[in-house]
Structure 1
Amino acid sequence: PFAKRPAGVKGKKIAIGNFKGGVSKTTTAMTLAQGLSLFGRRVLLVDLDPQASLSALNGILADSEVSDEQTVLPLIYGDVDD
């Protein structure tokens, strides 16, 4: 139902955060992404939590399917610049 974003217009960024554990940050991010995608929006979820719960909810098992080089760690440690 939404028109496409015009060329040259940047997308919006939404961050979900809280210092306390167990307050549904992951669930909020997942349901928000699902809702936006149902309205035709393109959504990129970035899971920076070491537990990788958001990745697991999307069917990616971080322990067995993702290597350290495929994470944000090399960027954080300064091993890569891009």
Structure 2
Amino acid sequence: MAVFKDTLGKDFLEKYNGVELFKEFTPGIAKLPKLMYKPYYNKKAGDVVDTCIKLGRCTADEAAALEKAFNERYADK
């Protein structure tokens, strides 16, 4: 059972098709080169998105939509 805030960045990207979710809900993050994702592999997805909000890569509304979509798709798995 995956919950967005507790999912590691690497798992988000590799197990849960995170890049596609970024493209759909947070295009500012999706435009970053994949190399930019590596420092966040061992951080929780919720923390990564909070950092992106602070850096201006996405809005709080976009982050909330991303989290909601992730939890709807993967929380029961």
Greater relative CO (CA pairs within 8 A, separation 6+): 2
If each structure's helix is expressed as a fraction of its own residues, which one has the higher value?
2
TM-score higher than 0.5: no
Larger gyration radius, structure 1 or structure 2: 1
